[in-house]
A and B are shown apart, each in its own frame.
Chain A
Amino acid sequence: MATRVLIPNGAIGLGFDAAALARGVRMRPDIICVDGGSTDSGPYYLGTGTSKYSRAATLSEWRALMLARAEAGVPLVVGTAGTCGTDSTVDWMYDITVELARELGHKVRIARLYSSQHTGDVARGWDRVRPLEPVQPVTAADCEGLTNIVALAGAEQIGAALSAGADIVIAGRTTDTATIAALPLQRGMHAGAAWHGAKIGECGALCSTNPTSGVIVIDFDTEGFTVTPMAEGAACTPELVAAHMLYENADPFILHEPGGHLDVSRARYEALDATRVRVTGSTWVPAKDYTVKLEGARLAGYQSTILALLREPRYVQNAQAWVDRLSRFLDEQIHSRMGLTAPKDYTLDFRLIGQNATLGGLETAAPTAAEVGVLAIVTAPNQARASEIAKLANPFLLHYPLTDDEPQATFAFPFSPADWARGPLYEFVLNHVMILDDPMSAFRLEVTEVSHVPA
């Protein structure tokens, strides 16, 4: 007996083709799995424990998925709820779910899988933590200074939530693949196929000719898996499916997961017809230790920015020289007026939009733009200082001359006030795995029943 997994899209918030979702539901899936986040949007979300996507967008997509769940009569699972998968974003997603259950009159058993780690526990258990390449200079003491640490749950923890009889699983941080692989593994499907199919499916229809349609179905069995796109006219080809192993993956043949790794170096991809692809030959290699990856973020200062625009050709042509001269001048001003020294007390970075803002020192192309955006970025230990420095820099970004002997220049400021308080800057810190004796020992499961209560 096969296990059929319906995947609506690569992440809640990206949208999906409603007709394709309806078609997927009609195919009688055994489970509906969707991802809710990743590190790809940067460290701010983990640092603050908040969602990147708006509540309204999440609520409207989750309503469609809760209706699909009710119609299909199967569990609905979201992994890495609320972008970063901290306990706070699991609760945020739970709140949305309860609101929708009441609105829709659904009686549901909800399992919340919590992935947040107490920073002190990680520090005290540092002898069970191993660095991954590239090794980051992190000590046990550093862990205490992180605002959030999450462990990435695997199939075992999702499996535990399903075994609790959940209609809806709201999981904190999980690997991209865990929600999809869990049920096929629990039902004894081929382990290599379960993980490989999960990797192919984790971005929804990205492995098809119509990536934005979102919806795909994967059938797992005891020898392999089959991928079927749900959108009208969409097709999966062996090349597209195989190529998805490249995506966001440093090694195209190996994928590390809690408890082992997937090896697809001998996988065979075969077109069953014009739209479906069959994959066999993937291998799951169990590891000696059961490890879960850790992610952590810490506060790295506060920022203010100013954007000034240069259009006068002489300034455009000499933008780098202007910024170098301005930068030296501002460092002197900040030192004499505020008693601060870079980089100990603050940093002031300039990026020349139109010249090298994207690639910095790696840029090889000669600038050709008619105008240059000068983005000044102040970073300081607190917002008050960052804002003060930006305000001090403001008149000079507006008027500072290229040479001493010339009429006053005035550049374009697109906004008033010209300086923006950007708020806190966070940075990713951990690139480690933690060894667990029991897969559930770093995770918490809470199960509640929610039913519509007539007013």
Chain B
Amino acid sequence: MSRLDQIVPKIRTKNAGPFWLTVDIFCGERRIFDHLKDSLQTDQVAQAFHQPIAALKRFDIAHLNVIKFSLPRIVVQGSRADRDMHASQWAWLVGGIEVPTP
């Protein structure tokens, strides 16, 4: 098994407006994309954010070799409990997901 951030070149998280979080996993090449399309489970990403799987939308975007997830922000941007105004450091959580080594 490998950490996701050891096999893809970039993982980006970002606000998509104050109420949504979007996660872009840039696989870099088709071989990695095809591998992760099957081996990265949506449930793993849901668990990283402690959210139910039904909260996540998943997009496997072959022409960009990108796997994208979007989910309602766990706390609304800028509210008292928010810790990351731009939601950019949450990428680290996704990077730590364990997947089979390609």
Contacts and interface: CB of A to CB of B under 8 A. Distances in A.
A136 B22 CA distance: 19
A349 interface: yes
A428 B76 contact: yes
Contact of B22 (A134, A250, A357, A427): A250
A445 interface: no
Nearest to B63: A242
B14 interface: yes
Size class of the A contact interface (CB-based, 8 Å): 35 or more
Given A248-B14, A251-B57, A251-B59, A425 B93 contact: no
A379 B80 CA distance: 8
A13 B17 CA distance: 20
Nearest to A351: B83
Contacts of A361: 50
Contacts of A163: none
Given A44-B78, A243-B66, A358 B84 contact: yes
Interface string B4-47: 00000000001111111010101000000000000000000000
B70 A250 contact: yes
Contacts of B20: 134, 250
A426 interface: yes
Contacts of A357: 83
B83 A246 contact: no
A301 B81 CA distance: 13
A246 B16 CA distance: 10
B57 A247 contact: no
Given A251-B57, A359-B89, A428 B79 contact: yes
B48 A362 contact: yes
Contact of A246 (B15, B68, B80): B68
B89 A358 contact: yes
Contact of B68 (A40, A252, A300): A252
A68 to B, nearest CB: 30
Interface string A38-55: 011111100000000000
Contacts, number: 104
A261 B75 CA distance: 27
A358 B85 CA distance: 10
A379 B49 CA distance: 26
Interface residues of B, number: 38
B89 A134 contact: no
A347 interface: yes
Interface string B71-102: 01010111111011110011011001000000
Nearest to B23: A246
Contact of B16 (A250, A351, A358): A250
Contacts of B70: 250-251
Nearest to B96: A364
A249 B70 CA distance: 9
A88 interface: no
Contact of B80 (A301, A360, A362): A301
Contacts of B19: 132, 134, 136, 428, 431
26 contacts: A39-B15, A39-B17, A40-B15, A44-B78, A133-B72, A134-B19, A136-B76, A242-B63, A250-B16, A250-B22, A251-B57, A251-B70, A252-B61, A295-B18, A300-B79, A347-B80, A358-B89, A358-B92, A359-B89, A360-B83, A362-B74, A425-B80, A426-B78, A427-B80, A428-B77, A431-B17
Given A41-B85, A427-B80, 15 more contacts: A40-B85, A43-B77, A132-B19, A134-B20, A246-B24, A247-B24, A249-B16, A250-B16, A250-B22, A357-B83, A359-B92, A364-B96, A365-B96, A428-B77, A431-B19
Interface of A: 39-44, 132-134, 136, 239, 242-243, 246-253, 295, 300-301, 347, 349, 351, 357-362, 364-365, 379, 425-428, 431
Interface of B: 14-20, 22, 24, 26, 48-50, 57, 59, 61, 63-64, 66, 68, 70, 72, 74, 76-81, 83-86, 89-90, 92-93, 96
